[in-house]
Structure 1
Amino acid sequence: MDPNVVFLNSFLDVSEETFEKLVRISTFKKLEKGFNIAKSGEVPSKIYMLVSGMVRAYLSSETGKEFNKNFFMPFSFVGSLTALIKNRPSKLTYETLTACKVYEVSFEEITRLCKEDIHISNLYSKVLEHVFIKYEERQLEFISMDATERYLRLRKRISGIDDLIPQYHIASYLSITPVQLSRIRKKIDKN
């Protein structure tokens, strides 16, 4: 079975007809490492289904310091959802950390289809629920786990992350310094 269908079916059973409607409004793209799919200060219009590679969402301070909010791995939906929904400039930048394969979809087309097709509307609703649950899980990690526990959970969620992206990105995501991350790694290696 098509892995894209399997992914969509993880939210809701998607009929062949519904899948075909989604395919018609999607464009398959190969993106190079370092490509910005949404930029801070710009109003986005697209959402992406990531099928290979890794993407980060980050916030830049006025001094240029970057704070990683999230990492996206296949299969997931990527885009500045708040900016898309509100039709306002994104506060975050979404950047490919590796070469990626994505399906690009116009957010306007998705919302139009939601008004026309209850199955697509239900799928959209389930995807939003999933995004909210992931957001809440991340918030709970910060208030209930120390940095070592958060790092171990990240390594479990993204196998081989230490080899995929630079240490400073991982440290930023964990809200610690690269030096603290290095100490955590040494401590884990000793055990």
Structure 2
Amino acid sequence: MNPNVIFINSFLDVSEETFEKLASISTFRKFEKGYQIDKSGEVPSKIYMLISGIIRAYLSSETGKEYNKNFFMPFSFVGSLTALIKKESSRLTYEALTDCKVYEIGFKDVMQLCNEDIQVSRLYNKVLEKVFIRYEERQLEFISMDATERYLKLRKKIPGIDDLIPQYHIASYLSITPVQLSRIRKKIDNN
């Protein structure tokens, strides 16, 4: 079975007809490592279904320091959802950390389909629920886990992360310094 159909059906079983409607408004794209999909300060208009590679969402401070908010792995939806919904500039930049393959979908097209097809509307609601759940889980990690526990959880979520993503990106995601991450890794390796 088509892995894209399997991914969509992990949210909600949709008919072949509904899947075809979604496919008809999607464009397959490849992004090279380092490509910025959406940039801070710009009003986004697209949402992406990531089918291979890793994308990060990050915030830049006025001094240029970057804070990683999220890593996206296949299969997931990627986009500045708040900016899309509010039709305003994104505060985040979305960047390919590896070469990526995505399906690009106009957010306006998705919203139009939501008005026309109840299955698409239900699918959109299920995706929003999943986004909220992940957001809440991330917040709970920060208030209930120490940096080592967060790192171990991230390694479980993204096997081989240490070989895929530079250490400073991982440290930023965990809200620690690269030196702290190095110490945590060394301690884990010694155990």
Do the structures match in fold with TM over 0.5? yes
CA distance in 2, matches of 1:72, 1:50: 8
Query: Unpaired segments of 5 or more residues in structure 2?
Result: none
Which residue of 2 is the match for residue 5 of structure 1? 5
User: What pairs up with 1:134-153 in 2 under 5 angstroms?
Assistant: 134-153=134-153
Which residue of 2 is the match for residue 179 of structure 1? 179
Which residue of 1 is the match for residue 87 of structure 2? 87
Which residue of 2 is the match for residue 63 of structure 1? 63
State the shift of 1:25 in Å: 0.1
User: What pairs up with 1:39-188 in 2 under 5 angstroms?
Assistant: 39-188=39-188
Q: Match for 1:112: what amino acid?
A: Q
CA distance in 2, matches of 1:190, 1:32: 36
CA distance in 2, matches of 1:179, 1:80: 30
TM-score by length of 1: 1.00
- Deviations along 1:69-104, one digit per CA (max 9) or x if unpaired, are 000000000000000000000000000000000000
* SS, match of residue 71 in structure 2: strand
State the shift of 1:45 in Å: 0.2
Q: Match for 1:20: what amino acid?
A: E
* SS, match of residue 70 in structure 1: strand
Alignment RMSD (CA, Å) = 0.3
CA distance in 1, matches of 2:165, 2:70: 13
Query: Unpaired segments of 5 or more residues in structure 1?
Result: none
Moved over 3 A (4+): none
Aligned identity (percent) is 80
Q: Match for 1:24: what amino acid?
A: S
State the shift of 1:14 in Å: 1.1
Between the two proteins, the alignment pairs up a number of residues equal to: 191
